[in-house]
Amino acid sequence: MGEEKEEDEEEDDEAWTGDEADETDLGPEGEFVDKQFERNNATFEGKSVEWTAPEAPDFIRDGMSINDIKQGYEIGDCWFLAALSSLASRRERLSFVIQKRRNETADPESGYEFKFYKMGKWVTFKVDKYLPSIAAIAGDNEYWVPYCEKAYAKRYRTYDAINRGWGRWGLVDLTGGIAIKTEISWGARGIHELFAWLYDHQQGLLMTSGISEGTGGAGGEVLEETTGLIEGHEYSLLKLEVVKTNDGMVVQLLQLRNPWGGGEFTGDWSDDSDKWDTIAPEKREKLNVQREDGAFWMCYKDYVNLFSSFDVCLLPSLFNEKKKGPIFENESGVRGKFADDEFDEIKLKIIVTEKRNVYLQCLLDVGIMDDCDVCINLKDENGEFVIPRLPNNYKPDTYDTYLHNGYLFKLDVGEYTLIISYLNSSASAQACNPGTRWFVRTVGKGVTLQRINEE
């Protein structure tokens, strides 16, 4: 089944301390009650939280839909719900994450289970039937979204811990994929080639896109009255299309969605735009669904000018029974822990047997809001820095805050040295704690990742 390789896998499995489903908390009638999680979340942003159990809830009602996903009014987790909305376009993957087969027939008293990717493994997180007043909106008595949000908060211990974040973080946790942030500006080199690549590969990708500035909270401010877009907000990037107008002009389009379930773009190619009158009726009827559901279309130039970046996530292609979830066919991985030294670095060897694109990611077992600076460099056999194709703003020998980011390299045949440098917490406020677990992986046929043992 490909060339999946991971060093020290058996030893690591024995030492694994992931938050598996907890059956220890039982109420007087034998129901599952997650008392510790409720204690940890007695407040949100310093305010008391009220917990209630929905009356006769449906986990799923009339099927799963992207329109089920609506952000609540207090938690700033638009980035997670945008990632979840993108995942909703892949029914089998979503069904796995929300454990559809189990949960849609489960007695609420027994709780609900969800799967998230954590440090190279798929881990089960179980939640009880109680929901806080701050949870995502449940429409028509359908609760798979707020329960999924609760399980994700449990994965990071509290709702406060997911009150801000980045789309790529959510995409990795929901898919097990490798997500890469890319900044965009109109007129930049390769901007049209980028659209073509995304268009051709969109079936194997999930994407979100953000607008910088603003607080990124659940409220948000309108970026510009003429656009309807929200600053400091994350959107799902659902689809790319190419249409031809009646006068022969080719237009590149993107479909996005606001995780609020409303608040749409109002410019050219939006729901009510007269631009739709310039294309063939059958194409217009297929693409332009006019309803206030948070989804909208816009042309590529407007998108690049209004959005500051997007996160693109390469999806795993196989389901592995041992790891109980989606994996990459040609993944090679090495894991370990940060040392106690004030300054240290991890050195790994990447062996490439044929010229190809290679995806790379370093995962750290840290919280979303933990400020942990790392420096990631790849050098060839001559000691020269290798610059990735993505992200396009990469600078070698530079410390950046760890954000689940991945890299895409185009590598020739040969051996390369990957150097991950970090500071511990005694040396810098933006540092990683000693003992922090790390997992580095590459994806590419004929690519091997190995530890370099130095005296």
Cis peptide before 391 (omega within 30 of 0): yes
**Which tokens belong to 127?**
């939640």
Contact yes or no for 59/106 (Cβ under 8 A): yes
CATH number of 330-451, picked from 2.60.120.380, 3.30.365.10, 1.10.10.10, 3.10.20.520: 2.60.120.380
Residue 418 has pLDDT above 90, yes or no: yes
Contact yes or no for 99/114 (Cβ under 8 A): yes
Mean pLDDT of all residues in 104-114: 95
Residue 23 has pLDDT above 80, yes or no: no
The SS3 call for residue 402 is coil
SS (H, E, C) 32-92: ECCHHHHHHCCEECCEECCEECCCCCECCCCCCCHHHCCCCCCCCCHHHHHHHHHHCCCHH
Residue 10 has pLDDT above 60, yes or no: no
| Residue with the larger pLDDT of the pair 277 and 393 | 277
Q: Which of 78-82, 221-225, 371-375 is predicted with the least confidence, judged by mean pLDDT? A: 221-225
Mean pLDDT of all residues in 295-314: 94
C-alpha to C-alpha distance for 135 and 153, rounded to whole angstroms: 10
Contacting residues for 298 by C-beta, under 8 A, at least 6 apart: 253, 254, 256, 265, 267, 268, 269, 270, 306
Mean pLDDT of all residues in 404-431: 84
% of the chain beyond a pLDDT of 90: 72
pLDDT at 371: 82
pTM score, whole prediction: 0.91
Contact yes or no for 373/399 (Cβ under 8 A): yes
Mean pLDDT of all residues in 319-338: 86
C-alpha to C-alpha distance for 5 and 331, rounded to whole angstroms: 6
Q: Which of 4-13, 274-283, 436-445 is predicted with the least confidence, judged by mean pLDDT? A: 4-13
C-alpha to C-alpha distance for 6 and 305, rounded to whole angstroms: 42
Query: Phi/psi of residue 130, each to 5°?
Result: -80, 140
Task: Name the superfamily (CATH) of residues 178-312.
Answer: Cysteine proteinases (3.90.70.10)
Contact yes or no for 330/3 (Cβ under 8 A): yes
Residue 28 has pLDDT above 80, yes or no: no
For the stretch 150-209, pLDDT in tens is 999 999 999 999 999 999 999 999 999 999 998 888 888 888 999 999 999 999 999 999
**Which tokens belong to 353?**
């047997």
pLDDT at 26: 66
pLDDT bin (cut points 50, 70, 90) of residue 25 is low
For the chain, give every domain's residue range. 5-175, 178-312, 330-451
Residue 361 has pLDDT above 90, yes or no: yes
| Residue with the larger pLDDT of the pair 1 and 254 | 254
Mean pLDDT of all residues in 368-393: 92
Residue 120 has pLDDT above 60, yes or no: yes
C-alpha to C-alpha distance for 186 and 303, rounded to whole angstroms: 9
For CA atoms 212, 214, 220, 226, give the dihedral sign. negative
Mean pLDDT of all residues in 28-54: 92
C-alpha to C-alpha distance for 83 and 173, rounded to whole angstroms: 9
Contact yes or no for 201/114 (Cβ under 8 A): no
pLDDT bin (cut points 50, 70, 90) of residue 446 is very high
Mean pLDDT of all residues in 406-426: 89
Residue 147 has pLDDT above 70, yes or no: yes
Residue 428 has pLDDT above 70, yes or no: no
